Structure 1
Amino acid sequence: MMTRTKSLQKNHSVDPWLNDVFNSFFNDHGLSNSFSSKSPAVNIVEKDNGFEIELATPGLKKEDFNISIEKNVLTISAETKSEENVEEKKYNKREFNYTSFSRSFTLPDNINDEDVNAKYDDGVLTVSLNKKEEVDTKKTVVIS
Structure 2
Amino acid sequence: MNLVKFNNNLNQSLLPGFNDVFDSIFNDTFFNDRLISRVPAANISESENHYHVELAAPGLKKGDFRLNLDRDVLNISVEQNMETSDTQKNYNKREYSYHSWVRSFTLPESANPDDIQAFYTDGILNIEIAKREEAKMVRRQIEIR
TM-score bracket, shorter-length normalisation: 0.5 to 0.7
Letter in 2 for 1:46: E
Which stretches of structure 1, 4 residues or longer, exceed 4 Å deviation after superposition? Answer: none
Q: Which has the higher helix share?
A: 2
Give the corresponding residue for 2:16.
none
Give the corresponding residue for 1:125.
125
Greater radius of gyration (CA): 1
Letter in 2 for 1:111: A
The answer for unaligned runs of 5 or more in structure 1 is: 1-13, 21-27, 136-144
CA deviation string 1:66-108 (max 9, x = no partner) = 1011121111111212223239xxx8x9x9x661111111111
The size of the alignment, in residue pairs, is 104
Alignment TM-score, normalising by the size of structure 2: 0.61
Q: Is the 8 A contact 2:76 2:103 kept in 1?
A: yes
Give the corresponding residue for 2:86.
86
CA deviation string 1:37-83 (max 9, x = no partner) = 41101000101101010000000000000101112111111121222
Identity of aligned residues (%): 40
Q: Is the 8 A contact 1:82 1:98 kept in 2?
A: no
The answer for unaligned runs of 5 or more in structure 2 is: 6-26, 136-145
CA RMSD of aligned residues (A): 2.9
CA deviation string 1:86-142 (max 9, x = no partner) = 39xxx8x9x9x661111111111111111000000000000000011118xxxxxxx
Give the corresponding residue for 1:62.
62
Give the corresponding residue for 2:53.
53
